[in-house]
Amino acid sequence: MNETLEKIRAARAALVRKRPYMAQAIIRPVVVTDQVPTMAVDQDWNMYANTDFVASISLPELAGVVYHEALHLVLDHARRGQMAVPHFGKEVWGLATELEINSRILSEGFPLPGDPPTPQKCGFPEGLTAEEYAELLSRKQSKQKTGSQSADEGSGVDGIPRPWEIGSPLEPIDPEAAVRTIARSVLEARKTESPAAGTVPGHLVRWAETVLKVKADTVQALVQRFASTLSSLGMAPTWMRTNRRAAWTSLRIPGHQGKKVHIAIVLDTSASMTDDDVARGVRLVTQLASSAGAEVDVLCVDAEVHSVQRGVTGTTKITPVGGGGTDMRVGIEEAARLSPDVIVVFTDGETPWPEKRPAKAVIVALTADNDVPPWAQKVVIK
């Protein structure tokens, strides 16, 4: 075990010298275990390594593998996987993330051991997103076998916990804050182009610019997260055709084929929500209804459901009703009865939540940075 950890430390040190701005994702706690075939990461940013695998590869190859695992974390594959796996399947999504990462790592000159899957081997173009590769793989799979498979690399790839994972961070980490710090470091290194930083890869610069630009407008970030959820859960979505409504965004919003996707918005109108909060919620409803190209229903909820407006558009007048206590459980339950593809809850977070994961995907838009259940996607609207 000591030899394994020492070799990993040496590989990490060499990698950090070349990619210092990635250090926060590269230098994470490592669990040595034979439960993984190669290396893996979990959604809590812990790394895992197989002793035999580490011993069998060269130090430069090991640095490439560590870089690969760090990119799973930085590219947020766990959260993206929670949205994509229900549509594409775990295996297709896992392979798609490998294609997204490997095409970048190999283009930077880092070696990888064995015969790693690449876009070229699958007959795909370089430089696409995992979602785009997943769609191409799904199309190809319907006609023939892809001939490539990916090893199990943990919940850091798809957000699905594994029995062998620790279940919590071995060292404290705020993944969202860490990603923003890394993005800022990438752009700073790009500006200085110091010898220590080396040449910053273009794909990392584009990623960092997108991360920081999106976070600058959290309402827009929610619209984009909604679009990501919608694309994975919708009726025949396609990541290869851009939605005509997407021109104003910095991220790619998927186009859709066939039936409109259905979203239910639960608007917290309890006494703990200020008039400004509720007004922001109404503006958010309008923005989603006009930007997402979906069928939208709105529920006004405090401790009970006061109103349900169906077929809301960007011009529909929303009249908030409520002012009592707070219990978003009743709103989520009622929203689920409408059979939406995704539920968005706009609230201050001062509410009890369902103990079990709802049958529908849930995004929580918070007016304050409160905790949400692990099954929900969280965006703070400031």
Query: Per-domain residue ranges for the chain?
Result: 2-206, 217-380
Residue 271 pLDDT greater than 90, yes or no: no
State residue 313 phi and psi, 5-degree precision. -120, 180
Note the pLDDT of residue 140. 83
Looking at the DSSP bridge assignments, the partners of residue 301 are 268, 305
Q: Give me the sign of the Cα torsion angle 313, 239, 127, 78.
A: positive
Size (the chain), residues = 382
The stretches of 57-129 forming alpha helices (DSSP H) are: 59-74, 77-88, 90-107, 119-122
CATH architecture of 217-380: 3-Layer(aba) Sandwich (3.40)
Share of the chain above pLDDT 90, in %: 50
The SS3 of residue 52 is helix
CB 77 within 8 A of CB 97: yes
CB 222 within 8 A of CB 363: yes
Note the pLDDT of residue 251. 31
Output the six-digit token pair for 307.
Answer: 């109103």
Q: How confident is the model at residue 253 (pLDDT cuts 50, 70, 90)?
A: very low
Identify which has the larger pLDDT, 357 or 211.
Answer: 357
Biggest CA pair distance of the chain: 66
Listed residue (356, 292, 357) closest to 86, CA to CA: 357
Residue 111 pLDDT greater than 80, yes or no: yes
Listed residue (284, 263, 272, 262) closest to 327, CA to CA: 272
Note the pLDDT of residue 256. 45
DSSP category for residue 135: H
E runs forming strands in 196-321: 237-242, 254-256, 262-268, 295-301, 305-312
CB 251 within 8 A of CB 224: yes
CB 37 within 8 A of CB 152: yes
Output the six-digit token pair for 214.
Answer: 């999106």
Residue 382 pLDDT greater than 70, yes or no: no
State the Cα–Cα distance between residues 171 and 272, nearest whole angstrom. Answer: 35
Identify which has the larger pLDDT, 368 or 166.
Answer: 166
Output the six-digit token pair for 15.
Answer: 């990698």
Residue 283 pLDDT greater than 60, yes or no: yes
